[in-house]
């Protein structure tokens, strides 16, 4: 059970990285054909200049190397997990699984892409290398069909596999294109050609992005209907709630895409647009945050049973709503002795007895953490007024929170409990994730405190949104053991909502910092506030809502 | 891109496509028990029983384990076999005294995810 939790978490994480690298490969090739028009070497000059193609190749190579590394690691980890879980290692049976064969095929294909990208690095217009890469993309895309839920269904199997592959392809085109835009923007200082090509890339990608979104929706909708099947299934299961989260995140990404497209249209119409260089690059960076989160959510979906298969353990909408309803926070905790007394019954397989003390212990942990976070956000809001200099020190709260979490998160482990620190950290998936969250809170506090109080800490400022995004991904991929699906889900529902908000915190703060460096002409004041300030306030507001969720948290007794 | 460029790759592409199609014969994804015969046919005391577990999809039997858990959380490995239909697993339960028991299963699905879960059941006096 414990190693499974840890392995599934690592598995989901690797899965997210694999989806990202897959998108970089596929997206780069579509980008090369559609945006850079590398096959068009006519005198009309529609094709991109060599330095711009070189940027595309670098990203293609990066994606291929990452996919090979992740796929290889995943196959290895699966083997180790098998050996640890089964007590022996049926090598032959493992090598015969579809998972292994399809994974190995992807590993071989990604090695092929590494080789081709190497050739293209030396000669960016090598037509035969581009052609071979395009053909290798076909089996790469198709092999994904054997790594999705659809393959195991008893009905509409082929249709579901096909639909999922198209869905993944559309996502890859969108994310790969956004990543290409990001790299193109960041190489503009070194390359004049990249700077010149920038507006053209934005306008060309507008239509490609729109087409991929259309494809995403038209394939995602029937998949959702097939796998979720009801409103309770959407909000009352892990699978459904992650789909809802994906949709919400995509809405955010679409907003950024719309703003970029609008700026591109303005440039096309007038031949100039302040937003195109003043805002669009930063919107693309924020969009990347969101899309990376979407891909991690998509990877986590693969480890969740479809809602239609767990109707008996699906929570109702009202049960989920109750988890979020405001109530007085719990400010008293059971003693450590009371907690440990109920642990044997709580973790028993046959004579399981739910532990009231464990539930109250957890409620207290979450509620106090919520009070910490809500208080910090209120002080943070004061700091934005500019009148209270001491309010700049609000990140100290994160350090306090991390110390609290270290002692309280897992009471059965060191320093309070009998299980050793290393044994519990690497032997139990939940404890491992809690330890990461604790470290994350500590780092957030230390780094953001330095960033807010030292004017010269320019680069340090960006650590907060990066770590917030990582924290959001951690929450979205947070896994508990699967013995009580409904209770586990009710807990997970709050984590998922907080993960979604953490992505808003990250994107908002990132935009605030980045837009502060943009030229004043492109700030586009909206009343008294500019776009960056609005984004910054939204970021704090999202963190405030997370604090509220934690403050009102009530764990189901199970 | 011209069709002329595709020609040299015709054979490798066909081989890849056939390899991929060959994968489709026995493949399953994340497996959870949707139903079990324990509900309709409770285990009778002191006689061996075959329990049927119905999964939402098939599982890799060679990479899966099922344990009978008795009072005090003592684990006994039990034999498993493929059922008649896709997604069915047969579990051999030895003769049991009346009392509380559980089946703990660890199954490996083709999407690479282990599903570990518990089904609790009771053996009543006749």
Whether the per-residue pLDDT at A20 is higher than 70: the answer is yes
Question: Which one has a higher pLDDT value, A21 or A154?
Answer: A21
Whether the per-residue pLDDT at A73 is higher than 60: the answer is yes
Whether the per-residue pLDDT at A554 is higher than 60: the answer is yes
**A–B interface: beta-carbon pairs under 8 A:** 146
Question: Which one has a higher pLDDT value, A122 or A151?
Answer: A122
pLDDT band at A111 (very low <50, low <70, confident <90, very high): very high
pLDDT band at A394 (very low <50, low <70, confident <90, very high): very high
Distance CA A239, CA A489 (A): 9
- Both structure tokens of B67: 């344990």
CB neighbourhood size of A487 (10 A): 18
Distance CA B92, CA A239 (A): 32
Distance CA A168, CA B35 (A): 31
Distance CA A225, CA A250 (A): 18
What stretch of H or E contains B69?
A: strand B65-70
pLDDT band at A43 (very low <50, low <70, confident <90, very high): very low
Contacts B105 to A, Cβ<8 Å: none
Lowest-confidence pick of A150-164, A254-268, A273-287: A150-164
Q: Is A394 helix (H, G, I), strand (E, B) or coil?
A: coil
Residue-level pLDDT at A500: 93
List Cβ neighbours of A308 (8 Å cut-off, separation of 6 or more): A226, A227, A228, A229, A233
Residue-level pLDDT at A5: 57
Q: Looking at residues A216-240, what average pLDDT do you find?
A: 90
pLDDT band at A63 (very low <50, low <70, confident <90, very high): very high
Whether A350 and B120 lie within 8 Å, measured CB to CB: yes
Residue-level pLDDT at B13: 43
Beta bridge partners of B88: B54
Q: Looking at residues A192-203, what average pLDDT do you find?
A: 84
Whether B60 and A352 lie within 8 Å, measured CB to CB: no
Q: Looking at residues A441-470, what average pLDDT do you find?
A: 87
Residue-level pLDDT at B109: 77
Residue-level pLDDT at B2: 37
Residue-level pLDDT at A153: 66
With beta carbons less than 8 A apart as the criterion, state whether A187 and A48 touch: no
Residue-level pLDDT at A262: 84
Q: pTM of the full predicted structure?
A: 0.84
Q: What is the mean pLDDT of each run of 10 residues along chain B (126 residues)?
A: 40 42 38 88 92 86 92 94 89 95 87 81 89
Question: Which one has a higher pLDDT value, A430 or B22?
Answer: A430
Whether B73 and A309 lie within 8 Å, measured CB to CB: no
Shortest alpha-carbon distance between residue B120 and chain A (Å) = 7
CB neighbourhood size of A389 (10 A): 9
Residue-level pLDDT at A15: 85
Q: Looking at residues A39-63, what average pLDDT do you find?
A: 81
On average, the pLDDT of chain A sits at: 85
Residue-level pLDDT at A528: 46
Contact with chain B for residue A30, Cβ under 8 A: no
- Both structure tokens of A243: 């789909």
Q: Looking at residues A435-445, what average pLDDT do you find?
A: 89
Lowest-confidence pick of A9-18, A329-338, A431-440, B24-33: B24-33
Taking only the tens place, the pLDDT of each residue in A230-276 is 888 999 998 899 999 999 999 999 998 888 888 878 877 777 667 77
Question: Which one has a higher pLDDT value, A445 or A414?
Answer: A445
Shortest alpha-carbon distance between residue A43 and chain B (Å) = 17
Counted residue by residue, chain A has a size of: 558
Whether the per-residue pLDDT at A483 is higher than 80: the answer is no
Residue-level pLDDT at B21: 37
Question: Which one has a higher pLDDT value, A156 or A532?
Answer: A532
Exposure string of A296-325, with b = 16+ CB inside 10 Å and e = fewer, is bbbbbbbbbbbbbbbeebbbeeebbeebee
Q: Which of A4, A152, A304 sits opposite B109 (nearest CB)?
A: A152
Shortest alpha-carbon distance between residue A108 and chain B (Å) = 12
Q: Which of A1, A139, A149 sits opposite B116 (nearest CB)?
A: A1
Distance CA B46, CA B42 (A): 13
């Amino acid at each position: 059970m414990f190693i499974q939790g840890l392995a599934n978490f690592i598995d989901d994480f690797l899965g997210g990285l694999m989806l990202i690298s897959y998108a970089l490969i596929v997206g780069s090739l579509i980008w090369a054909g559609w945006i850079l028009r590398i096959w068009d070497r006519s005198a009309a000059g529609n094709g991109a200049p060599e330095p711009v193609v070189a940027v595309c190749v670098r990203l293609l190579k990066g994606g291929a190397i990452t996919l090979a590394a992740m796929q290889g690691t995943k196959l290895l980890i699966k083997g180790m997990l098998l050996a640890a879980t089964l007590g022996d290692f049926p090598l032959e049976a493992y090598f015969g699984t579809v998972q292994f064969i399809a994974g190995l095929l992807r590993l071989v294909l990604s090695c092929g892409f590494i080789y081709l990208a190497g050739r293209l690095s030396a000669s960016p217009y090598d037509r035969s290398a581009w052609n071979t890469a395009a053909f290798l993309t076909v089996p790469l895309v198709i092999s994904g069909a054997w790594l999705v839920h659809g393959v195991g269904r008893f009905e509409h199997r082929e249709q579901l596999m096909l639909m999922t592959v198209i869905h993944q392809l559309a996502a890859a085109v969108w994310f790969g294109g956004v990543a290409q835009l990001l790299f193109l923007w960041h190489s503009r200082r070194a390359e004049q050609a990249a700077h010149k090509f920038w507006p053209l890339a934005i306008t060309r990608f507008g239509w490609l992005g729109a087409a991929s979104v259309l494809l995403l929706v038209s394939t995602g909708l029937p998949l959702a209907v097939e796998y979720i099947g009801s409103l309770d299934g959407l909000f009352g299961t892990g699978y459904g709630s992650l789909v809802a989260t994906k949709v919400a995140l995509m809405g955010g990404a679409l907003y950024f895409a719309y703003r970029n497209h609008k700026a591109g249209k303005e440039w096309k119409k007038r031949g100039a647009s302040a937003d195109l260089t003043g805002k669009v690059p930063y919107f693309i960076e924020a969009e990347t945050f969101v899309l990376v989160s979407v891909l991690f959510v998509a990877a986590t979906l693969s480890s969740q049973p479809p809602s239609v298969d767990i109707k008996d353990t699906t929570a109702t909408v009202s049960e989920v709503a109750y988890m979020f309803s405001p109530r007085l926070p719990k400010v008293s905790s059971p003693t450590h002795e009371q907690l440990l007394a109920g642990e044997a019954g709580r973790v028993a397989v046959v004579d399981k007895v739910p532990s009231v003390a464990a539930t109250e212990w957890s409620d207290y942990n979450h509620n106090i953490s919520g009070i910490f976070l809500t208080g910090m956000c209120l002080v943070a809001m004061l700091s934005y007024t500019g009148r209270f200099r001491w309010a700049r020190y609000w990140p100290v709260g994160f350090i306090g929170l991390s110390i609290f979490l270290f002692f309280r998160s897992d009471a059965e482990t060191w320093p309070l409990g009998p299980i050793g620190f290393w044994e519990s950290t690497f032997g139990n998936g939940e404890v491992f994730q809690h330890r990461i969250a604790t470290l994350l809170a500590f780092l957030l506090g230390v780094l953001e405190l330095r960033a807010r109080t030292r004017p010269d800490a320019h680069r340090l400022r960006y650590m907060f949104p990066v770590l917030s995004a990582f924290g959001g991904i951690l929450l979205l991929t947070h896994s508990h053991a699967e013995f009580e699906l409904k209770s586990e889900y009710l807990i997970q529902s709050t984590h998922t909502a907080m993960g979604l908000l953490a992505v808003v915190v990250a994107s908002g703060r990132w935009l605030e910092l980045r837009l502060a460096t943009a030229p004043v002409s492109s700030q586009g004041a909206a009343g008294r506030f500019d776009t960056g300030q609005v984004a910054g306030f939204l970021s704090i507001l999202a963190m405030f809502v997370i604090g509220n969720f934690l403050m009102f948290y009530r764990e189901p007794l199970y | 891109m011209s069709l002329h460029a595709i020609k040299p790759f015709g054979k490798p592409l066909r081989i890849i496509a056939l390899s991929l199609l060959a994968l489709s014969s026995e493949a399953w994804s994340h497996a959870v028990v949707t139903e079990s015969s324990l509900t309709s046919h409770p285990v009778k005391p002191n006689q061996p029983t075959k329990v049927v577990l119905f999964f939402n999809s098939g599982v890799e039997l060679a990479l899966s384990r099922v344990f009978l858990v008795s009072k005090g959380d003592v684990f006994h490995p039990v034999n498993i076999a493929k059922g008649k239909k896709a997604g069915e697993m047969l579990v051999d339960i030895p003769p049991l005294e009346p009392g509380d028991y559980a089946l703990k299963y660890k199954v490996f699905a083709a999407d690479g995810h282990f599903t570990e879960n518990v089904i609790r059941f009771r053996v009543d006096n006749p």
